[in-house]
A and B are shown apart, each in its own frame.
Chain A
Amino acid sequence: MRRGLAILFALALIASPAAYAVQPDEVMADPAKETRARNLSRELRCMVCQNQSIDDSEAPLARDLRLLVRERIASGDSDRQVIDFLVARYGEFVLLKPRFERQTLLLWLVPPFVLLGGGLALWIYARRRPQRDVAEPTALTPEEEARLAAWVSGDRPSDAPRS
């Protein structure tokens, strides 16, 4: 529970222990490793929470996962290996940014397709449509000239369209 508007909306479900995410005792001694751990934590989901990363969550499970991430980093895993390890253990659900694979094909492809498709449609539309207005204006017909002259001189010709 803690997401902006969710405050209001998720009312019925929430219970709010006022603890925090990362606790002082979890922080790694090496600042570089701690930064890596924090960055990884932001990409990993606390599986018992609503759309919360383990970096933000106060749930006990999130704490376990944060410690696990730090353990793996301390034992010399690369970021990639840590992620692979967690996915092997908990499934794709743990990733807040899904990998690009068969079941997430649509997810990743819709944004570029909408952009390219929309752009293409606009391009075709712009080409197909004659740009009459944009071209040089055509000259008035003699009849129009006469009517214009009449308008300018002040008498209204009877055949002029009203309004």
Chain B
Amino acid sequence: MIAESGHYALVLALALALIQSTVPLVGARLRDPALMNVARSAAVGQLLFVLMSFAALVMLHIISDFSVANVFENSHSLKPLIYKITGVWGNHEGSMLLWVSILALFGGLVALFGQNLPLSLRAHVLSVQAWIASAFYLFILITSNPFTRIANPPIEGRDLNPVLQDIGLAVHPPMLYLGYVGFSISFSFAVAALIEGRIDPAWARWVRPWTLLAWTFLTLGIAMGSYWAYYELGWGGWWFWDPVENASLMPWLAGTALLHSALVMEKRNALKVWTILLSILTFSLSLLGTFLVRSGVLTSVHAFATDPTRGVFILVILCLFIGGSLTLFAGRASALKQGGIFAPISREGALVLNNLLLTTACATVFIGTLYPLALEVLTGAKISVGAPFFNLTFAPLFVPLLIAVPFGPMLAWKRGDLLGAAQRLLAAAGAGLAAIALVWAWTRGGAVLAPLAIGLAVFVIGGAVTDLVERIGLFSVPLATAARRARGLPRSVWGSAFAHAGLGIALIGIVCETTWNTEHIGTMKAGDSVNVAGYELKLEGLTPRPGPNYRELAASFSVSLDGEPLSVMTPSKRTFTTRGMSTTEAALLRRGVSQLYISLGDTTPDDAIVVRIYHKPMVLLIWFGPVLMAFGGLLSLSDRRLRVGAPRPAKALRAMQAAE
């Protein structure tokens, strides 16, 4: 009954989406407010039905109803409750349902909080949103129905993939999807503007916060995924330039560019056409990511060819939306008026440079990810494009970008003073040089590039600090005044300072981890000890332990530094009986922002075990940076300017003048 209700709710959501995708458009044509307002109630209704459908699937997983194929294939009655719930989106069907739920959530939010949007703009935005929703409801209902029943229900499920039985699954996919799908709002706004043929002032006001929200979640989602891979996969890697990762990195790069160009549009009414194009591209890349991941085309072109239903369906959606929106763009863009003129050296100019570099970085990831696929389809030749390619092409793009980051906020709008900005950044540059000298002196004869990169990172952080210090007049006005100014400073200024500093902090982590990582691979027996980066690790013993749906072999290491015992680390190896798979549970010991990392390998016949021990200096900064960036995003979102909302022009103003 639950499954059928969930299925039915999804069908109803599709029906509402179809209404929402047509009626408001007709209303906008006829200038009929009643028809246009259908969009609002339809969007809210859609949200309710999708949530019901999603709740139904969660319920089925919780009660372990193995008569539903999706539950049977991905759950087990002995699985802990949290993994029964997270297992809902740990599979294709369920994750697509999460995708549309989030899409409906964003649509609902626009409907609920969009009272101050011009009626026709809101009608258009929600219509476009409903087109996307309809396409994906159809996709789920036709090719990936999570509610399919099994005729002869089995007694026990096949269990969730053990690697996914981790708290990471609870956080990473929802965050990532909130980001991916959140960009649909900027897309819908862009398409709505193109349909209307004009950019309302409310448009610019609206696009930036939504983009910021999506970007914040995507940043957290990617960082979380990276940390999850780091501790779960058992060999301490945190970014692999895998196509699936690239699929999430592309919208992030484009979204970051969009965030900055939307800023120019909001403040200076310039770069309108470009911002619209970028909104379309960002969401297109999200769709492309969905296609790459969901169609199976990445595994191999042949796997895609043998069961192409899902892949082709998404490909059609992809072509319709990307092709349609770009065609619309080509036809209408010239009608949009350009405003806000600026000199090349100005805040706008700096943001254009940011966009150029980020877009190129995005294009690099795009070509690197798709080239092997395209080449194989076209010529049959097989090549690989992996980490070495991306590392080589990415660095030359990110170095100038990072050098430019501190300059941006220092330049005035319209026409800036580069020399003046450089002078104001002297302290930051000095800090960077000092960092280079220090690191170089400390690691004499070591890597040459690493100290330079750390200097660059310190410069970026110093730039962010300088910006804040200057704005609040720290050191030049009394402390109390500075503190008052700090409180009065717009939160968006704090936000961008945090985000930029986060970039520098992440860079420090990346450089330290890749350059000064210590690794020990060896076999150890109980009683053996080994010295890694000054830490003494002694294997005390191996103990088998039972778990709820697995057995595990835990090793206990006592860690000491200079003879002082520090802690006990217990990495383990789990074997999941149902799937016959095993996972490694690495043991992590945090020392400041560095970590000791132990993971276990196979046991040898003579009772020894293969161990991998790493010392990863500053490694936590890699994720602390993005968290700081996301925090900056949230801070900026809480800016008073956005809470107050877009100003109501015309009427309100006139009323005020009359009252004078």
Contacts and interface: CB of A to CB of B under 8 A. Distances in A.
Answer yes or no: do A and B interact.
yes
Interface of A: 1-24, 27, 42-43, 45, 50-53, 56, 91-98, 103-104, 106-107, 110-111, 114-115, 118-119, 122, 126, 129-134, 162-163
B341 A129 contact: yes
26 contacts: A2-B237, A4-B229, A4-B242, A4-B244, A5-B176, A6-B242, A8-B164, A9-B244, A18-B573, A22-B521, A24-B522, A45-B386, A50-B299, A51-B242, A93-B384, A95-B383, A97-B389, A98-B389, A114-B359, A114-B360, A115-B360, A115-B397, A118-B356, A122-B352, A131-B343, A134-B342
Interface residues of B, number: 87
B601 A20 contact: yes
A23 B242 contact: no
Contacts of A7: 163-164, 168, 225, 228-229, 232-233
Contact of B583 (A16, A22, A122): A16
Nearest to B160: A11
Interface in B222-245: 225-226, 228-229, 232-235, 237-245
A116 to B, nearest CB: 9
B146 to A, nearest CB: 14
A14 B242 CA distance: 15
Interface stretch (B374-382, B452-460, B536-544): B374-382
Interface in B332-370: 340-344, 352, 356-357, 359-360, 363-364, 367-368
A44 to B, nearest CB: 9
Given A11-B92, A24-B522, A103 B375 contact: yes
Contacts of B573: 18
A131 B360 contact: no
Given A42-B387, A114-B360, A126-B344, A16 B654 contact: no
B360 A118 contact: yes
B164 A111 contact: no
A27 B235 CA distance: 17
A21 B168 CA distance: 24
A8 B173 contact: yes
Given A11-B164, A134-B341, A163-B650, A96 B385 contact: yes
A53 B391 CA distance: 14
Contacts of B235: 2, 20-21, 56
A103 B375 CA distance: 8
Given A13-B299, A14-B161, A96 B382 contact: no
A110 B364 contact: yes
B363 A3 contact: no
A27 B612 CA distance: 13
Contacts of B176: 5
The 5 residue pairs across chains A and B that have the minimum distance between CB atoms = A96-B386, A3-B242, A97-B388, A4-B229, A133-B341
Interface of B: 90-92, 95, 161-164, 168-169, 172-173, 176, 225-226, 228-229, 232-235, 237-245, 247-248, 293-294, 296, 298-299, 340-344, 352, 356-357, 359-360, 363-364, 367-368, 371, 375, 379, 381-389, 392-393, 397, 414-415, 521-523, 573, 581-584, 599-602, 610, 612, 649-650, 653-654, 657
Contacts of B173: 8
Contacts of A104: 371, 383
Contacts of A2: 229, 233, 235, 237, 240
Contacts of B522: 24
Contacts of B523: 24
B161 A3 contact: no
A50 B385 CA distance: 11
Given A8-B225, A10-B299, A91-B382, 17 more contacts: A1-B163, A4-B238, A7-B168, A10-B244, A14-B161, A16-B163, A19-B610, A20-B521, A21-B235, A50-B298, A50-B299, A92-B382, A93-B382, A97-B388, A111-B397, A132-B341, A134-B341
Contacts of B363: 110-111, 114
Contacts of A42: 387-388
A162 to B, nearest CB: 7
Query: Interface centre among A5, A8, A21, A51, by most B CB within 10 Å?
Result: A5
B389 A14 contact: no
Contacts of A133: 340-342, 414
Nearest to A43: B388
Contact of A5 (B248, B344, B582): B248
A107 B368 contact: yes
Residue from A4, A7, A20 whose CB has the most chain B CB atoms within 10 Å: A4
A69 B414 CA distance: 58
Nearest to A115: B360
Contacts of A95: 383-384
A4 B225 contact: yes
A33 to B, nearest CB: 16
Nearest to B389: A97
B229 A111 contact: no
A118 B355 CA distance: 10
Contacts of B352: 122
B465 to A, nearest CB: 30
A91 B384 CA distance: 10
Contacts of B247: 5
Nearest to B241: A51
Given A107-B371, A133-B342, A15 B383 contact: no
Contact of B582 (A6, A16, A92, A114): A16
Contacts of A27: 521
Contacts of B583: 16, 18
A94 B584 CA distance: 28
